[in-house]
Amino acid sequence: MVQVNTTQAGNGNSKDLPVVLVLRPPPVLKMFEDRFAERFRILKAYNSGLPLDRFLASSPQAQSATALLCYGGIAMTDGIPISGEILRQLPSLKIVVSTSTGVNYIDVSECRRLGISVVNAGDSVSEDVADMAVGLFIDVLRKISAADRYVRKGCWAASQDFPLGYKLRDKRVGIIGLGNIGTRVAKRLEAFGCKISYNSRKKKDSISYHFYNDLCELAAESDALIICCNLNDQTRHMIDGKVMYALGKHGVIVNVGRGEIVNEKEMIECLVRGEIGGAGLEAFEDEPNVPQELLGMENVVLSPHNGIFTVESLESLCEVTIGNLEAFFTQKPLLSEIMEDW
């Protein structure tokens, strides 16, 4: 029988607490482990010393676990894809709790087939990711990061020229994915005097922004595209050379979604040829590896996919994650269940 470390629950008996299986610890568990330990017995597969497949097959605790806590990771090297193969090794599983917004690393279709609920971070990190999107956009337009380098390198003191930036007001911004994050980006940019339009899976009747079903049409009528949608088979590489060409030579791409939504190779080619004006990138196709070509571009701002990582957002994420687990174990409505195919 496999023995594995579990968290201890304060002065109580941890054996009386519901079991939550964790394949690899998400940041929110690392930061708030005491809070989780007060409520759940954490079954730490990563401390077993066994290959994952062997652990799942030989551990009675894993075989009887009904809840799985997981994380997509800043890069997939940080997390473990929740594939159909893993799901089928957990015969008692009833819920997968993701501490990230995106669930592209989870086989949601297989979960549905097996009757397993899937929940994500919900709205807990939307404000922070929206802030990051706006920050990247302003940085690209006003060349804030480039100006910082200019000063630090002594270029200002040497009276070297610095290129002009662009004002934010009156910019036409096309938001791709008008969900929790996209809506907040739109509200923030409206306050700056930007003109908002959007593309989403379907038109939202309650929204006054102009809807474009065709991405190239949206790009042609925009000065910038801000990507806030989820990654799935339909959105993978949907921002390609055709869309960028429609966006134009002064257009800006901001991506706070997933790296694979953008055809990175074609984006680099467009940047090199001057077919788009710049990019603010929070996500990349092969994280944490960033293409070398992007590192030397002054019109590109890079961020290590850390849009959700603020003190406040991780606190909120902890509450949502624990809330979903408690709702599941007490048979109450889940807080952020994925109801549609992503």
- What is the CATH number assigned to the segment(s) 19-121+310-330? 3.40.50.720
Tens digit of each residue's pLDDT, the chain (342 residues):
444 555 433 334 567 899 999 999 888 898 899 999 999 999 999 999 999 999 999 999 999 999 999 987 544 445 689 999 999 999 999 999 999 888 989 999 999 999 999 999 999 999 999 999 999 999 999 999 999 999 999 999 999 999 999 999 999 999 999 999 999 999 999 999 999 999 999 999 999 999 999 999 999 999 999 999 999 999 999 999 999 999 999 999 999 999 999 999 999 999 999 999 999 999 999 999 999 999 999 999 999 999 999 999 999 999 999 999 999 999 999 999 987 543
Element spanning 137, H or E = helix 126-142
Q: Which residue among 184, 266, 285, 305 is the active-site one? A: 305
What is the structure's pLDDT at 12? 43
- Residue by residue, DSSP assigns 89-124 as T-TT--EEEESSS--TTB-HHHHHHHT-EEE--TTT
The full length of the chain comes to: 342
Q: Which residue among 41, 127, 184, 258 is the active-site one? A: 258
The residues, any chain, with a CB within 8 Å of residue 35's CB and separated by 6 or more, are: 318, 322
The CATH architecture to which 126-302 belongs is 3-Layer(aba) Sandwich (3.40)
Q: Coil, strand or helix: which one is 201?
A: coil
Domains of the chain, residue spans: 19-121+310-330, 126-302
Task: Determine contact, residues 56/62, Cβ cutoff 8 Å.
Answer: yes
What is the structure's pLDDT at 102? 86
What is the structure's pLDDT at 16? 85
What is the structure's pLDDT at 72? 77
Same fold, 19-121+310-330 and 126-302: yes
Q: Which residue among 264, 266, 285, 287 is the active-site one? A: 287
What's the pTM value of the predicted model, to 2 decimals? 0.90
Task: Determine contact, residues 228/185, Cβ cutoff 8 Å.
Answer: yes
**How far apart are the C-alpha atoms of 109 and 152, rounded to whole Å?**
51
Q: Is 285 annotated as catalytic?
A: no
Q: Is 258 annotated as catalytic?
A: yes
**How far apart are the C-alpha atoms of 318 and 216, rounded to whole Å?**
39
**How far apart are the C-alpha atoms of 92 and 20, rounded to whole Å?**
12
